Structure 1
Amino acid sequence: MKLLVPVKRVVDYNVKVRVKSDHSGVELAGVKMSMNPFDEIAVEEAVRLREKGIATEIIAVSMGVAACQETLRTALAMGADRGILVETDAELQPLAVAKLLKALVEREQPRMVIMGKQAIDDDMNATGQMLAALLGWPQGTFASKLTIDGDHATVIREIDGGLETISLTLPAVVTSDLRLNEPRYASLPNIMKARKKPIETIKPADLGVDPAPRLTTVTVMEPPKRQAGIKVGSVHELVEKLRNEAKVI
């Protein structure tokens, strides 16, 4: 079974994000970038499926500038077999990404697309659902456990107040949640091997997709700074402040 795993290059989760001085977006110059953490989980799950003998090939896909090859190399070092870079300078929004993935699915014919439930840079949580809709495939979102048996996949997904178990008929789209697994660290030998694995570079036009954005960012603002706390001398004073100043009781 062939698996397709999209991976996104985002600002590293350890970096404190800064807004540009003109409020047009987030500052990316000189900022450490890495693979979206939810996509790491998706790659790990794909590799585990291959180790179980269920998957036969893992294709990592990234979209964006040429530097996204670094993200693909990380996926290859984790265990993906080959990579595809859809190179473009355009601002890629979820619908455009879903259309590009649809075209790649039709070309590569995977039995399953495993992807992160969302990217930590925009938290859109829309690409997986859009892709499933465009393909007409069943979807298992927010997966915390994935089991495959023949042409069926069982997904345990996290919902408000508990867990939901659903059965999907392959081919299908699955999006990974935090508790699906813990991604492995790429070993030095695998990092060296990843340098020799093939990465194909194509353009959106090669897939017949126009990636032009449909949404316009008006302004980006930092959240207001939290006010400093104060100490109170007694329970009576605390109650007075909660009632008269905070007005929460």
Structure 2
Amino acid sequence: MNLLYTASGFAVGLLVGITGVGGGSLMTPLLVFLFGFKPAVAVGTDLIYAALTKSVGVFVHHGKHRSVDWRIVGLLALGSLPFAGLTLYMLNSFIANGKEISHAMTFTLGVALLLTALSLLVRSILMRRASKEAIVDDQLSTVENSGRFSPRWEKIATVITGAILGVLVTLSSVGAGALGTVALLFLYPRMSTLKIVGTDLAHAIPLTAVAGLGHLSMGNFDLDLLLSLLLGSVPGIWIGSHLSAKIPEHYLRPVLATLLLVIGTKFVLQ
């Protein structure tokens, strides 16, 4: 166990609990910049970490709130899992041929962080619009049609969204949380926020598990790092979740978005 890793896990968990920002967008850059891990190892370890921690969240959402739309989870997975597998195959092929993948993963991580930063800025706007539309639709008794498009195009758009998330998450470990939530808010504006979060969380588990196990098979994993992060992040998330009602989120989100913009730009320009 490394106390610095544990402390970092606690700090990231605290921020995740307060703001709801995905841990990957905070943890992976921290591991690369502060502790000097190779991007591949940071991404692979963070994916396994995400699969374990998100499983607890889905247990709460499905068991207590019944807030997971499994039909949408299936459509997202129909796109994300095959493309995650394809991305892993390409990464493995590059490694087998002796080609360096660190630059490609660093660039993708930067792009994912920039997209996450932008998503933080528009998420509150989308959530306010979604709440208003849900109220109107509830009054009109049309909440069952929660999609933005017709049923046919809704399915296609959801599968394509899953495919994009599959590639981004596999290459960077970023996107399963913040980007997935924003995408669902756009595709299903009349779905409740609780259901959006639960559905995105449920889809993130198989995606991060498949991507994480793929990286594990390539050796992109550090067990001591994983255990240290879990030791710190679990209490951090618990404390942060309780503090979230006392700390105004609209103050922290712009700060986090700005930080991710700076870090993402640095990754892209490396």
Q: Relative contact order, CA 8 A, sep 6+: which one is greater?
A: 2
TM-score normalised to the size of structure 2? 0.27
Larger-Rg structure:
1
Higher share of residues assigned helix? 2
Higher share of residues assigned strand? 1
TM-score normalised to the size of structure 1? 0.28
